[in-house]
Amino acid sequence: MDSQTVLRGMVRFLLGLRYRVEVRGLEEVRARGTRKILFLPNHPALIDPLIVLAALHKDFRPRPLANAARTDLPVIGWLARKVGTVLIPDLSAPGRAEMKAVAQGLALVRETLEAGDNVLLYPGGRLARGPEERLGGKGAVERLLKAVPDVRVVLIRQRGLWGSSFSWGLGREPQLLRSLPRQLAALALGGVLAVPRRQVTLELFEPRDFPREAGKAEMNAYLEDFYNATPNPVVRTPYFLWQRRLS
């Protein structure tokens, strides 16, 4: 048993104390093969990369593409390195050096896909600010599909995390370190008592009509239509049994 298998088991156990995760469509994707796949999820909360990776890792072991600023934290950075994360800089104030690093990161992603391995990429490149995913003028998906035209594309729609303390659903920017103590307390109590768990759904879909030959505007519109096809309401799941569930 390798170290990544042990780590996956630990992460899934800890997530299971707080989240009840239902994964739909994984068997259909796996039946078509487990290599050279570009996974494209929406991004409602800071915690969702961990949930998605825990769901996909056993069968696909995808390498995530992540914002270096978001992973430059204790434990998070270590986990990112363990799963082979490709880090790119925060582009809130991009300069020549940052843009060069992004290009290098995308080149590494292209090489990873060309070698037959899998990649997890968030098309929006940042947390969703509202219940719907808006991609704007992001062009990473278009660039990768033009560079690796035979890669498989699998979309992932997440529901249940909007309204968590890791999302913008409470009307303010989520702070991982601010939310962590309360999350850890809930996890510790969850090891003893049956604490409330947040219901999360991941829907995997491999479209046959994805507009591979189109420009980024049409690709992004297709992705937005998929991500926003079902409601994504604010769900407030209490941390402890004596708190009232809000939704």
Q: Which of 88, 91, 4, 11 is nearest to 47 (CA)?
A: 11
User: 15-227: which CATH architecture?
Assistant: 3-Layer(aba) Sandwich (3.40)
Cα–Cα distance, 184 to 195 (Å, whole number): 12
Cα–Cα distance, 156 to 164 (Å, whole number): 19
Which amino acid type is present at position 69?
A
Which amino acid type is present at position 37?
I
pLDDT value for 246: 46
Q: Which of 162, 161, 138, 145 is nearest to 207 (CA)?
A: 145
* Beta strand extents in 3-140 (DSSP E only): 19-24, 37-41, 63-67, 86-88, 119-120
pLDDT value for 10: 85
What are the structural domain ranges in the chain?
15-227
pLDDT value for 243: 62
pLDDT value for 90: 57
**Residue 51 contacts by C-beta under 8 Å, 6 or more apart in sequence?**
15, 19, 21, 158, 161, 200, 202
Q: Is 203 helix (H, G, I), strand (E, B) or coil?
A: strand
Residue with tokens 């809000």: 246
Residues 208/80, Cβ–Cβ less than 8 Å: no
Q: What is the DSSP letter of 193?
A: S
Could you read off the pLDDT tens digit of each residue along the chain, which spans 247 residues? 677 788 888 889 888 888 999 999 999 999 999 999 999 999 999 899 999 999 999 999 999 887 666 666 556 666 767 777 777 665 454 566 667 777 787 888 889 999 999 999 999 988 999 999 999 999 989 999 999 999 999 999 999 999 998 999 988 888 766 666 666 666 666 555 667 889 999 999 999 999 999 999 999 999 999 999 999 999 988 776 666 554 4
In this structure, the chain runs to a length of 247
